[in-house]
Structures are given as C-alpha cells and as structure tokens.
Amino acid sequence: MKYAFFLGCTVPVRNLNYELSARWVARELGLELVDLEDFQCCGFPLKSLNLLDSLVVAARNLALAEQAGLPVCTLCSACGGFLSEANSHLQHNHDLKSQVNDRLKVSGLEYKGTIQVKHFIRILYEEIGIERIRERITRPLYGFSFAPHYGCHYIKPARTAGGIDPVEDPKSLTELIEVTGAKALRYETLLDCCGGSVLGIKEDLANTLAGNKLSEVNRLGGNGLVLICPFCNVMFENQQKKIEKKLEQKLKVPVLYYSQLLGLALGTDPDTLGFKLNRIKDKEFLTGFERRD
Amino acid sequence: MIPQEEFRKLNRVLIWGKGQTAEETATRLTLLGYEVLKINPDEQFQLLSIEGFAGDFQVTLQQTIPSLEKEGGMEMLERIWTEKFGAVVFAPELVSEGNFSDYQVAPTEKIITLEEMQKVLIPGLDEFHQGNHSFSALPTPASAGGRRIFAALKPASYVAFLVGLTTEGNVLDMAVTLSAALEIRKRFQSQISIFCRQVKVAGEGLERLYQACRDEGVLFFKFDQEGPALLRRGDEVVLQFEDTILKRPFILTPDLLVFDSRHLLSSEVRQTALSAGIGMDKSGFLQSANVHFLPQASEREGIFIAGPGKGPMLSQLSIEEARATALSVHHFFQGLTSETMNQEVSVDKGLCTLCLTCLRFCPHQAVGFTHRVFIHPLACRRCGICASECPMDAIQIEGYSDNEVEEKLMALQERGDKPEFSQPRIVVFGCQRSAGVAWEGAESSKLKAQSNLEFIPLPCAGKLDPDHVLKALSVGADGILVLACPEENCRSVHGNTYARERIMEIRKYMEEAGVNPGRIRFEHLSSNMEWYLKEIIKQFSETLEELSNPQSAIRNPKWKNGPH
Amino acid sequence: MVVEIRNPKFKSIFILNHNFEHNLKVNSKNSKVLIIGGGIAGITAAVALSRLKIAVTLIEKATALGGMVPNYCCKATDACQQCGVCLLNDSLQALSQASNVEVHLQTEVTDLTLDANKFLYTFSRPGGGGEGRAEALLLATGFTPFRAEDKPQYRYGILPNVITGLDLERQLKETGSVVRPSNHTLPTSIAFIQCVGSRDPHLNHPFCSRVCCAYALRMANLIKYKNPQTEIAVFYMDIQTFGKDFSLFMEKTEKQIRFIRTIPGEIQKGDNDQVWLTFQDDDGLSSRKQAFDLAILSVGIMPGSDLEFFKDKLGLPLNGDGFLSEANEIFSSKGIFLAGTVRGPKGIAGSITQAYRTAEEVAAYLKTRPV
Amino acid sequence: MDPIDLKKLDPDFKHRLARELGGEQIKKCFSCGVCSARCPIEKIEPEYNPRRIIRMILLGMEEELLKEEFLWHCSTCYTCQESCPQEVDFTEVIFVLRNMAVRKGLAPAGLGAARNLLDQQGRMYEIGDFENEKRKEMGLPEIKGNAKDYRELLKD
C-alpha cells in the first residue's frame, strides 16, 4: 500500500500533531506514504472565486501524483474532498479536461485521470480494515469515550466522496474509535458542520456553529472530540476560547486527532504522537492511560 | 311475478355519448357481436326517457332538424320516436366554459381559454397521452384565431396560464397546460408562468411533464388560497400576486393570458340522467359517489356509465373505461339466463292493493305494473326495501321472508331460558354484505360462538322490518342492534337511511310500550370493520347490563322468567 | 370453485387459509389464462374472465387472497369516504361464486417460458409443486411499499413514534384507533408527511404514487372524526385529486386540518418520545421546529420485487419508473397482459377498472390469436 | 413594498446558471424547502435561505441576489445538496453564484487575499525556514514551499 502523501496547507504548518501521528500510524500499519516535493494547495480556497482556476490547481496536484504513479492520500477532508471532486469532474467532462490541460501546459504537466484520491481515515477503514487494526491493538483504550466528528467534506458530496459512509448515518469513524477499545458517543449534533468555511467571512456565525456542537459534547462528558480534518480543528480547538466567551460558558472540550488516539492504542507514547501540541488535552485521559502500564 | 313470455333480451345497445369513450365502447361492443346505436347528445339529438327494464328498455329519442329556410328564420322539424335496447351506456363528454366570469374578464385577443390554446397548439395531444411523448412538427394553424395566437408567441412575450385556481384543478387541465407550456417554450421560447393551487401530477407521465417544464424554465406560482388579482390597465390585464416562497409582491402583464375552464355535464345529459333515474355526484357529474357502483354501474341494472362524464379524466383512462364498460355490458348480457330469471322476490296478488309504495321506494326502478305489480327479476337487486315498505306485507324475498325471519326469532325464544346465559341477549340485524361479512370474519369468530348473540342477516339494512324488531323484543331479546353500511356506501342508495329512520319510529313504539328505547342501537359498519363490531357489542352489552339493573331500569321480564 | 363457503346461507363468507388449499385439486391443464397475483386486480380479472366462461388459474404467493388491501382500514367517518377498501369483499364474494377459477395460495411461479404462444410454467408450494400451461398470461403482481428506512432523516424504525401510512392503516384496521407506539396513548398532535419516497428522483422514484394524498387525507379526517381535539398537520407539495366530489372533500378537510406546503427536513427525538419536525414555516420566512406526538410517513407505491423475474424470464421491458411499461401492445401480441399496480401506481378503483379492461383484452386475444 | 415586475427580471439568469459547472440541476427545484429546513446557517441567520435563493434564481433576480452578503455565509456542509429530492446541487450553486458575483466585482473585500497568497507561494500558509526548523525538530521532512508555476497557472 503506497500513496502520495498530500499534506495541504494547514497540516504541515499548524497541525504537526496530526502529521506526526498519521505518519507513525501509517508506518506501523504498513502504509507507505511518499512525500512529493511539488504538492501545493489543493485549490479549494479558490473555488468560491473561480471554479476553473481551482480545478486547474487541483489538476496540477493530481497530475503530479500521476507522474509518480501513486494514488493520493490526504489528511485534510477539504483537500481530499476537493481533489476527488476535481478528479470526478475532469474524468467525466472531456471539454473541461482539455481546457484544464491547456492551462496546465505552463507547468509542463498533463492531467490524465488515472489515479484515485483517498482520505487517510478512509484508507485505514477500507484498505487496512477494522480487523487488521484490531489485531494490532496492544493497549486498548477501555473505559474512555470520545465523540466522533466526521466533518462534512469527508463524506459529502456523496457522489464524489466515493460512498464511504451513508451521509445520514456515517459509521467509519465510529467503528475506528471503537476498535481502539474506547466508546464512541452517539449525539444529536453528530452531523453538524464545524463552520470552518465561514470563519474568514463571518467569525461570529462560524463560532455559533462550532459552539452548538461543543456545548453538546461538553454536556455529554467523555474524553474529547475526535477529529480527522485540520479545518475542523481550527474551529473546535483554536476557536474554543472565543466560543467560550461568546457562550459565556466553560467548555474545555479536549480535541484530538483520530491518528493520535489510534497511535496510543497501537502502543506508542503521547509524545511520539504530538500530544504536546494539543491545546486542550484531557489530562485525566493521558495520565489515566499512562498509569495503566 | 312477471310471466316468462314478457321477457325480452335484445342484443342491442344504445351508446349515448360522443368522443373517445363512446367511440371505443361502440367498437368493442360491435366486435363482441352486439348491435350498437351511438347517438351524440347534442342540440340535434335528445334522449327523453328510458322506460322499461334491463334487457328490454324503451328509449324515447328526439331529433330536431333545421328544415327549409323560411322568411324570418329556420323552420325546425322535430321527430320523436321510441327504440328498444337491451342496455344503455352513458358516455358523454363534458362541455367546457372558459372561466372568465370567475375573474370578471372577457375573452379578448390576449385572453383565451385553455381549449383554444390546445386546439391550435397541440392537435396531437390525445396521441401524446397514449404514450407518444414526442411532438412531431406541427403545422401552422389555418384559422384566424390560431394565427393570432401564434403571432402573440415570441421569445420576448410572456404567457400566463391560470389553472385550477377558482375551481379545483384536475389532471386533464394540468396535462393540457403542461403540454402547451412545453410546446410554447420549445417552439417560440416565450416566457411562461403557470398560476395554480396544486400541480396535479397523479396521471401517467405527468410528473415527467412537470419536470420537463421546469427544465425548460417554465415558472410555477402556487397559491394556498387566493390566486392573483387581475387588474385592468387599458387593453391589458395585470396580474398582481404574492410569491408564496419569497413572500414578496409581484406583477406581471402577460402578452397572452390563458384561462382554464369549468367542465360541466351538458344540460341535455343532465336532464336525461335525471329523468332516467341515474344518479349524479354532488359536483354534477355522472354516477353517484358510491364505491359499489365502480367501475361502470348505475342505480339501474342495464344502464352503464363510462368516461369523462364522471369527471375530467386523461384520455388513457377514457379508453380504459370504454373497454371495461364493453366487458361489463357483455357480462350483463351473458348474465341474462333462465337461471337469473328465477323468482326470488314475489308479490302476493291477493294482498297487493296496487298502492305503488314499492314503485316509489325502489332505488333500482325494478318495479312495474300493468293490471298488477311486478318486480322485474333482472332489474331487481334484491335489497328488499319494497318488502319492508309494503303496507300489506305483500312482497316477500326468498331467504328473508317474514316467515323465515320469524322462525329464527322463535328459535331464539325456545333457547331463551337456558341457564348459562348470563350476558344480555342481543339480536343483531345486519346487512349481509357488510355486517354479515364482518360477523363471519375471523376476528369476530368469538362473537359467533357467543350464544347470547343472534345474527339475523338482511339483504340490505333497508330490509329492516319494525315488526321483526318488535317481535325480537317480545321473544326475549334484551337489545336490538341494527348494522347498516356507512352513509353513501349503500348499494341500494338509501337502504341504510331507511333503516335509521325506521329505528326512530320503533323507538317511539318502544317508549309507548314502556320499553327503554336504549335497548335498540343503530350503527354503521363496513365489511372490514371487525374490530368495531366487537367494540359495539361490548359497549352495547354494557348499556344493556346497566338498563337491566333493577335500580336503573326494568329488565325485560320475559327474558328473566323464560318464555311463556 | 375454490373458495370455501362456511355457511351456505351467507354467500359472502370465506375463510381463506392454507388448510383448505391442500384439498385443492390441481388441474391446470384446462386453464386458458394464468393470472399471477391474487390482489384486487388479479381477483377482479379472474372473475371477469370466468364470467366469459374462460378458465383461469390464479396463483398467489401469500396465504390469503387480497394482496395489500386486507391491510387497509375502512375510512368512513359519518359517511363513506370512498376509499374502496370494502370492494375487496365484494370481489371475493364474486370470486366465491365464480366457476372455472382455480386458486392456488402459497404458490410461487418458479419458471416461466413462452413457447409457440403457450406459457409453460412450474410452481412450488408447501408440500410440492407442479407445472402447468396457459394460453395467456395476466400479471397482477402488485407493488412494494416504499421502505421508509431508505429516508433515514425521518428515523423510521429508530423513533417509535414515527410510523408509516401503512402502519397506520393496519392500526386502524385492527383496533380502530390510532395510538402512539411508545406508550399506547392517544396522540394529541399528528403530522402527516407526504411524498415519502415519491416524487424523489434522488431515491430513483421520480413519479407520483397517486394514492398517498387519498389515504393520508382520508385517515386524517377519520382520526379527526374520532378525536376532534387532535391537531393534524399535513406536509405536502401538491395535493392530488382523488375520488368523486373532491372539491367538496377538500373544502371540508381544509377546515379541520392544517396544510403546510413543504417537506420537513428531518425528524428528531424530543422529550416524552415526541418527534420534532424541522420544516420551512409557511407563515414566516424561516424554518422552525415543532413537536408532534406522532409522525406518519406517507410512503408510496414502488415497483414490485417480482418484476425482475418477469423481465428476465419473458424479456419484458421495465419503464423509466421501474414498472412494466404502459405501452403494452408489445406484450399483448405475445399473450402477456397486465393489470393493477404492476403497470404503475394506482388506487383500488383504478386497479378494478384496469382489471376489467385487461380481461376484455385477454378475451379478445384468445378469440383472435393465431393457433 | 413595491411590487416587482416579473418582466423586468432576467428570465435567462437560471439558464445561464444552469450552464455553469454545478448549476446544471437548478431548474429541477420544486420549492419543497428541505434544503432550508436542514441548513445549519439558516438556523442562525434566517436571511440565508436556500429555498428563497433558488426562487430568486428561478425568477431571475440576479442583480439583487449577487449583491447579497449572505451568499458568502454558506458553510459548504453539503447537507442541502445531499437531502434534495430533486437532486439540485445547491452547495455547488452557491459556488457558482459566488463565482458570478466575483466576475461582477461583488466579492467581499479581503477574499482576493487567498488568491494572492496562492499566486505568490502556492500555499495558504507560508513555509519558510522557521517552519521547516520546527518540523525538523519534530522529525518531520522539510517542505520546499515555493511553487513558481502558480503565478503562471492562475494568470487570467
């Protein structure tokens, strides 16, 4: 299993904990992630401004992966979603493809439409599989519970997301949490959006969205909110202080990446998984977990 | 009793109607070997009356022919004559009147009816509904009106359809509207708005047509209550309305305004139906709103109803109706055998005083008289209303005669003193086609086993006889339950109502006789309401228990002490 | 003559079960027409053909005749609402009096071939099977109700107080009243959601089911008649015309039922097992949540699951909506005829009319077909 | 409120939008309102209402609509799109509307910044020596953050 590793813009600068833990988990499970030097922004930030421009940028990245002969693995759901979407548009629309390829000529690249894009979590779920992960769990996280947050672009739009999960009732992350031995919480706002896309336009609106979910997760208790996208992380972790202020309520909802959770269950220590970089940690969970050994 | 030689079975059918249904019914019946006369109900031909009985109707027709032109106008020649038919099929089309009066506008160059639009635009609409969902190249209309309409249809022009706003919409008008809108979009690229309350899509292909219109950019304005207001501005009409989605006011000055129509039964057909004793629904369409007449039956045996006269319908369905009707007519003729002519209803000549009560009450026009009354066995549906109404008890129906019912009641009396009876004894009189089915159903099988319950089937609740009810009370019943079909569901039209009225009467007798009128109960029950039958009996038993309580009422002494 | 009449005095009575089925003699050789499906359309067609002295074999999978109709309730309030459910009993009565009709219950056709204008078929049934032949085939295999689970945003099967129109029919048929499944109390507020699974290209059912407005509004009126204090809201897109005197019906219905032209987005769990509907409010400009004691999903008519079998065996084309095509000339020339919902959504009255029409076609075919 | 004259609106707007990538299904809408009922933004800001936005498109209210600030408030969660019975891709429609607004110079101030960043560095966040130093400390590979070709690629 070998993938071109698409980090996107946010992860390699702002979410090193996600990158660290994902690389560690991948290595541990025999998933080879290859860094391609020329990968840049996926193109999604341009979609609102000029759809064609955004597709050109996406196609550039896809063409690079094609050159390397590797399918793409993304950590960010927005990157994964948008690269898949571009792939689908270009594979099905011949005129669009030639239009985009015309523009790609300045980079000396050609998009052919031969490779697939998959989110890291989807690779864990579909390629490695729950059973193989189960076999590798050495330190099950019994007694702890987490609220999964799927995020929007991981499963939607269903047409281009590849149907990994039924959009009204997604299961993959829930099962992946449960295979670690921890309990995955069911909650009303499970499908709610983080609001990340509106943050730059109307912060208050974005905070209200994220706040709804954080309040519920706070009421639920448990050991934190499990994420799989750095965009969502911006809202739930970085904005949490501001949201607390807005809601006039202490939230203190610990936020962590799924790869960090899995890493612990696979037997490594929090430091290797970048837990030091998590801003809101569940100390009880981390200490409680360490004390078990 | 009618002598055998008076029967005649004529393999002739009169089809009173025009259009698709009438045509198709005529064709199918001809193929089946019947002699068919098809007459268009219009100004020229009128059907004055249908006398006689199933298999042998005498139909009186009138023809009005304009004759030689004379000074001061046309002389009209009238011809009235009578013909005989075994069966009659009503298959008229509806007449349409533009809905202008509802909006208080008059037809002008820019205001036309949906029918006009259809005529110039979609001559092949019928074909469309028969499954050919593509429009072939259509010729430009030859008529002046048609050319005028075409001239109004340009890419820059706005066409507005007002459909189903002042009267309840129907699939037919919607199909025409959608087809016309689509055609105009495709051929002239005009801007089209359809104003309606509901988009009626419950017909084959209509949902796709609706979708095709939306794809073409046709706008739909749906209204919950009032449609747009029509304002006159010089020559033009301005539509003023609120968009129900945006909740904002809009105006539109259409270049062509198309109105739907009211579809009505012509007064000729209406008159004929009334005189022939054929029911209509409350909206004035043919066939009573009674499911038991589905699909093509009428109150009178041998008279059938088919097609849009029952209400606007898509042409597919008209064809379906025609073929089904042809079969029903064929069944009817096949059923005219010596077996069906067996007398099951008899009139006692000695008792009959020729008061003709039976004739007045018969919902099926099955009673005739010459020097004596007879009940025509083919026209009779054996409801027994006549038997119950006959003041002389001269009419008896096999299986439900006074003697037979009384025998059953006497048997009840004999069983009356069995000691295991602890529950009130109830005699149930019920229509055998509704209550009878429910009574025999699996759900109520426990009821049947209850020896305190006796079910006396009636051919129709209209056969309920006050004498039998009083008899039942006198032989020891604690309570009488009468079960009739729901209102407007009686196969004999008013049988259930008659039963209810008779009970009011019986209650009066009971009061006079000092018996609590609460001991008789009347309920509507359909054949599949077994749970309700159980429930009624439970409730009624409780009522009767209470009435039998010495503190509350006097228990029927006959029951308590056994028979005398 | 195959339907048992328990009491010869009441000709309208039958108990249909597999016990009497075993006494049945299988003698399909004489049958001219094979009817598959013993619902209202199949029964009506069988009766119509038998009256023409055409011998018919009627095969039904279930243990009783009637198809879906025995699940439905009588909807009469102070007067009949013309639902036509009682017509099944009329048809069964006519069948019990028909000659030349052989009914096989609990029987499934396992193979079917068309060979030189003859249909050869094999069937299986408890305790064995057999084979038969027919000169014409009439398919009346009916429909499948939409699976409400396929619209997960309404949480059918998860929230106890979300039921389907079919569930409500059964409840009213069996008990005569409507209760909340969670605690068996009477609901004080009820929401009907129309078009669940119908007019929904997203779920691959782009067509109108043509019966849901009728059954939902009639049942709503019935509930209101029984319990006038119940508040009922109907969420709809376009109310479809049905029955006679429809405008009078609507006039009356609109007075006692709230109509909201929108489709609710989702149903969520509320306190006391109430269901929360989120929908675009008709009065204002925004969506809102409202709690109801009970939500009823008006599920529609979907193509029957047997259609694939006939498609494979006889090469019959399905139309764009997944039903057997309405343009049936290609079928009838081969001696294949269709009646009822196998051809597309329709109600009881429509099925009956169509059964007559088809019977007429079958009769004409048998008269003129090449030998 | 003065009534709007339907004839003064642009009936071609919906057709033009339908020709854009993602806008193809717009005319299928039959105003059921599921999109609005499920929209999380609508719950916070009722002015943002997908059903009404589509209605404005269908009626041709281009001028008014493209000026609306709320077009930029969609969180692109795709809930509307996934639950639409008529398969209108409303989230994509929002992108099309935004593209149209940008073409008319109606984009909110500051949105051009994203494009400038990509023009210059091919990334939303610059990766310089400082960032790479930090990565190195964590044992992560260096990232060469310069994409010279983006400027060329995004040239109009």
Position B142 scores a pLDDT of 59
Q: In the predicted model, what is the mean pLDDT of residues B25-35?
A: 94
**pTM for the whole structure:** 0.93
The conformation of residue B398, written as its DSSP 8-state character, comes to T
Strands C301-303 and C143-145: antiparallel
Domain co-membership, D66 together with D137: no
Structural domain contains residue D1: no
In the three-class reduction of DSSP (H, G, I as helix; E, B as strand; rest coil), residue B277 is classed as: coil
Other CB atoms within 10 A of residue C283 CB:
7
User: What is the C-alpha to C-alpha distance for residues C28 and C32, in angstroms, rounded to an integer?
Assistant: 9
Give the nearest chain D residue to A155 (CA atoms). Answer: D78
Considering its fold, how many domains does chain D have in total? 2
**Partner-chain contact C152 A188, CB within 8 Å:** no
Domain co-membership, A177 together with A42: no
Report phi then psi at B252, rounded to 5: -145, 130
Q: Which residues of B142-173 are buried (b: 16+ CB within 10 A; e: fewer)?
A: eeeebebbbebbeeebbbbbbbbbbbbbbbbb
Q: In the predicted model, what is the mean pLDDT of residues C270-294?
A: 91
Assess whether pLDDT exceeds 60 at residue D48: yes
Q: What does the CA dihedral B367, B371, B372, B378 come to, rounded to 10 degrees?
A: -40
Question: Which tens digits make up the pLDDT trace of B387-445?
Answer: 999 999 999 999 899 999 999 998 877 775 554 557 889 999 999 999 999 998 866 67
C-alpha distances (whole Å) from B470 to each of B244, B507, B514, C154 are 62, 10, 13, 57
Position B441 scores a pLDDT of 82
Q: In the predicted model, what is the mean pLDDT of residues B207-235?
A: 93
Q: Of all residues in chain B, what percent carry a pLDDT higher than 70?
A: 87
Domain co-membership, A88 together with A227: no
Domain co-membership, C87 together with C211: no
Domain co-membership, C205 together with C105: no
User: What is the C-alpha to C-alpha distance for residues A29 and B213, in angstroms, rounded to an integer?
Assistant: 55
Of D70, D86, D103, the position where a domain reaches its end is D103
Report phi then psi at A3, rounded to 5: -135, 150
Domain co-membership, C170 together with C127: no
Say which range, A10-14, A41-45, D126-130, has the weakest mean pLDDT. D126-130
Q: What is the CATH number of the domain that holds A234?
A: 3.40.50.11810
User: What is the C-alpha to C-alpha distance for residues D42 and B31, in angstroms, rounded to an integer?
Assistant: 65
Query: pLDDT band for position B552 (50/70/90)?
Result: very low
Which chains touch B (3+ CB pairs under 8 A)? Answer: C, D
Q: What is the CATH number of the domain that holds D67?
A: 1.10.1060.10
Assess whether pLDDT exceeds 60 at residue B129: no
Whether B163 contacts B118, CB under 8 Å: no
Q: Give the type of residue at D64.
A: E
Q: What angle do CA B483, B485, B489 make, to 5 degrees?
A: 170
- Give chain D's length: 156
Position B231 scores a pLDDT of 93
**Partner-chain contact B334 C90, CB within 8 Å:** no
Q: Of all residues in chain A, what percent carry a pLDDT higher than 70?
A: 99
Question: Which tens digits make up the pLDDT trace of B479-511?
Answer: 999 999 999 999 999 999 999 999 999 999 889
Domain co-membership, C46 together with C105: yes
Domain co-membership, C133 together with C153: no
Domain range for C238 is 145-301
Q: In the predicted model, what is the mean pLDDT of residues C340-350?
A: 95
Domain co-membership, C154 together with C252: yes
Question: Which tens digits make up the pLDDT trace of A117-160?
Answer: 999 999 999 999 999 999 999 999 999 999 999 999 999 999 88
Whether C115 contacts C68, CB under 8 Å: no
Which member of D30, D42, D85 has the closest CB to residue C286?
D42
Domain co-membership, D131 together with D57: no
Structural domain contains residue D50: yes
Domain co-membership, A146 together with A274: yes
Domain co-membership, D50 together with D116: no
Q: In the predicted model, what is the mean pLDDT of residues D74-85?
A: 96
As given in the structure block, the two tokens for residue A142 are 């019994």
Query: pLDDT band for position C197 (50/70/90)?
Result: very high
User: What is the C-alpha to C-alpha distance for residues C169 and A150, in angstroms, rounded to an integer?
Assistant: 39
Say which range, B174-183, B459-468, C156-165, D147-156, has the weakest mean pLDDT. D147-156
Query: pLDDT band for position B135 (50/70/90)?
Result: very low
Position C11 scores a pLDDT of 29
Most confidently modeled of B122-136, B188-202, B266-280?
Answer: B188-202
Domain co-membership, A108 together with A183: no
Q: What is the CATH number of the domain that holds C21?
A: 3.50.50.60
Cis geometry, peptide bond prior to residue B92 (ω within 30 degrees of 0): no
Structural domain contains residue D65: yes
Domain co-membership, D47 together with D93: yes
**Partner-chain contact D99 A50, CB within 8 Å:** yes
Q: In the predicted model, what is the mean pLDDT of residues D97-107?
A: 95
Position B343 scores a pLDDT of 62
Considering its fold, how many domains does chain A have in total? 2
Query: pLDDT band for position B242 (50/70/90)?
Result: very high
Considering its fold, how many domains does chain C have in total? 2
Of D62, D87, D103, the position where a domain reaches its end is D103
**Partner-chain contact D139 A20, CB within 8 Å:** yes
Of C301, C325, C348, the position where a domain reaches its end is C301
Whether B201 contacts C208, CB under 8 Å: yes
Domain co-membership, A179 together with A56: no
Helices (H) and strands (E) in chain D, counts: 10, 1
C7 backbone φψ class: left, alpha, beta (φ>0; ψ -120 to 50): beta
Question: Which tens digits make up the pLDDT trace of C48-102?
Answer: 999 998 999 999 999 999 999 999 999 999 999 999 999 999 999 899 888 889 8
Of D65, D81, D103, the position where a domain reaches its end is D103
Position B2 scores a pLDDT of 47
Q: Give the type of residue at B478.
A: D
Domain co-membership, C278 together with C157: yes
Residues from C contacting D (CB-CB < 8 Å) are 153, 195, 199-203, 237, 262-266, 278-280, 285-287
Taking the CA of residue C282 and the nearest CA in chain D, the distance in Å comes to 10
DSSP codes joined into one string, B168-230: ---HHHHHHHHHHHHHHHHHH--EEEEEES-----STTHHHHHHHHHHTT-EEEE-SS---EE
Radius of gyration of chain C (CA): 22
C368's CB contacts (< 8 A; 6+ apart) are: none
Domain co-membership, D70 together with D140: no
Burial (CB < 10 A; 0-12, 13-18, 19+), residue C366, is middle
Give the nearest chain D residue to B199 (CA atoms). Answer: D30
Query: pLDDT band for position C24 (50/70/90)?
Result: very low
> Which chain A residues are Cβ-neighbours of D96 within 8 angstroms?
51
Domain co-membership, D74 together with D99: yes
User: What is the C-alpha to C-alpha distance for residues A148 and A227, in angstroms, rounded to an integer?
Assistant: 7
Q: In the predicted model, what is the mean pLDDT of residues C91-116?
A: 90
Say which range, A30-34, B5-9, B397-401, has the weakest mean pLDDT. B5-9
**Partner-chain contact C199 B529, CB within 8 Å:** no
Domain co-membership, D13 together with D31: yes
Position D154 scores a pLDDT of 85
Position C87 scores a pLDDT of 96
Structural domain contains residue A48: yes
Assess whether pLDDT exceeds 50 at residue B561: no
Domain range for A253 is 139-290
Say which range, A125-129, B263-267, B335-339, C281-285, has the weakest mean pLDDT. B335-339
A264 backbone φψ class: left, alpha, beta (φ>0; ψ -120 to 50): alpha
Nearest-CA neighbor of A9 among A71, A93, A95, A76?
A76
The conformation of residue B158, written as its DSSP 8-state character, comes to E
Domain co-membership, A155 together with A208: yes
Assess whether pLDDT exceeds 80 at residue C4: no
Give the nearest chain D residue to C198 (CA atoms). Answer: D85
Domain co-membership, C281 together with C315: no
Q: In the predicted model, what is the mean pLDDT of residues C101-106?
A: 91
Assess whether pLDDT exceeds 80 at residue B324: yes
Assess whether pLDDT exceeds 90 at residue A24: yes
Structural domain contains residue A124: no
Position D120 scores a pLDDT of 86
Position C326 scores a pLDDT of 58
Burial (CB < 10 A; 0-12, 13-18, 19+), residue A134, is middle
Assess whether pLDDT exceeds 60 at residue C18: no
Position B131 scores a pLDDT of 46
As given in the structure block, the two tokens for residue A181 are 């031995």
Assess whether pLDDT exceeds 70 at residue C13: no
Whether A164 contacts A200, CB under 8 Å: no
Q: In the predicted model, what is the mean pLDDT of residues A202-210?
A: 96
**Partner-chain contact B250 D2, CB within 8 Å:** no
Structural domain contains residue D33: yes
Residues 3..22 of D with a Cβ closer than 8 Å to B: which?
3-7, 11, 14-15
Say which range, A140-144, B385-389, C120-124, C323-327, has the weakest mean pLDDT. C323-327
Of C258, C275, C301, the position where a domain reaches its end is C301
Query: pLDDT band for position B153 (50/70/90)?
Result: confident
A36's CB contacts (< 8 A; 6+ apart) are: A4, A5, A6, A64, A65, A68, A70
Domain co-membership, A145 together with A283: yes
Whether A120 contacts A73, CB under 8 Å: yes
User: What is the C-alpha to C-alpha distance for residues A181 and A223, in angstroms, rounded to an integer?
Assistant: 13
Domain co-membership, A103 together with A7: yes
Position B442 scores a pLDDT of 66
Domain co-membership, D96 together with D80: yes
Domain co-membership, C102 together with C85: yes
Question: Which tens digits make up the pLDDT trace of D54-67?
Answer: 999 999 999 999 99
Position C19 scores a pLDDT of 36
D99 CB near a chain A CB, below 8 Å?
yes
Touch between chain C and chain A: 3 or more Cβ pairs under 8 Å: yes
Structural domain contains residue A55: yes
Domain co-membership, C230 together with C297: yes
**Partner-chain contact C152 A168, CB within 8 Å:** yes
User: What is the C-alpha to C-alpha distance for residues C305 and B74, in angstroms, rounded to an integer?
Assistant: 67
Query: pLDDT band for position D145 (50/70/90)?
Result: low
A166 CB near a chain C CB, below 8 Å?
yes
Domain co-membership, A268 together with A158: yes
**Partner-chain contact C152 A169, CB within 8 Å:** yes
Which chains touch D (3+ CB pairs under 8 A)? Answer: A, B, C
User: What is the C-alpha to C-alpha distance for residues C206 and C319, in angstroms, rounded to an integer?
Assistant: 12
Domain co-membership, C269 together with C318: no
Q: In the predicted model, what is the mean pLDDT of residues A178-204?
A: 95
**Partner-chain contact B193 D7, CB within 8 Å:** no
Distance of CA D64 to the CA centre of its chain: 17
- Candidates D2, D5, D7, D14: best to mutate against B (most CBs of B within 10 A) is D7
Domain co-membership, C150 together with C126: no
Q: What is the CATH number of the domain that holds A13?
A: 1.20.1050.140
Give the nearest chain C residue to D88 (CA atoms). Answer: C202
Structural domain contains residue A206: yes
As given in the structure block, the two tokens for residue B521 are 């109960």
D19's CB contacts (< 8 A; 6+ apart) are: none
Structural domain contains residue A71: yes
In the three-class reduction of DSSP (H, G, I as helix; E, B as strand; rest coil), residue B369 is classed as: strand
Q: What does the CA dihedral C3, C4, C10, C11 come to, rounded to 10 degrees?
A: 20
Domain co-membership, A234 together with A186: yes
- Candidates D82, D89, D91, D104: best to mutate against A (most CBs of A within 10 A) is D82
Long-range contacts of A281-288 (CB under 8 A, 24+ apart): A281/A254, A281/A256, A282/A223, A282/A224, A282/A254, A284/A223, A285/A144, A285/A223, A285/A224, A285/A254, A288/A143, A288/A144
Whether B447 contacts B537, CB under 8 Å: yes
Domain co-membership, A221 together with A255: yes
Q: In this predicted complex, what is the ipTM?
A: 0.93
Structural domain contains residue A182: yes
Say which residue, D134 or B5, is predicted with more confidence: D134
E strand segments, chain A: 2-6, 32-35, 72-74, 117-119, 145-148, 183-184, 225-227, 255-257
D77 CB near a chain C CB, below 8 Å?
no
Which member of C51, C350, C360 has the closest CB to residue B28?
C360
- Candidates C279, C287, C290, C297: best to mutate against D (most CBs of D within 10 A) is C287
**Partner-chain contact D37 C199, CB within 8 Å:** no
Q: In the predicted model, what is the mean pLDDT of residues B522-535?
A: 92
Say which residue, A262 or B423, is predicted with more confidence: A262
**Partner-chain contact A9 D123, CB within 8 Å:** yes
> Which chain D residues are Cβ-neighbours of C286 within 8 angstroms?
36, 42, 46, 49
User: What is the C-alpha to C-alpha distance for residues C131 and C122, in angstroms, rounded to an integer?
Assistant: 4
In the three-class reduction of DSSP (H, G, I as helix; E, B as strand; rest coil), residue C276 is classed as: strand
Domain co-membership, D79 together with D119: no
C-alpha distances (whole Å) from C352 to each of B24, C111, C243, C300 are 19, 28, 14, 19
Q: In the predicted model, what is the mean pLDDT of residues C32-54?
A: 95
Structural domain contains residue A173: yes
Strands A2-6 and A32-35: parallel
Domain range for D70 is 6-103
Question: Which tens digits make up the pLDDT trace of C253-277?
Answer: 999 999 999 999 999 999 999 999 9
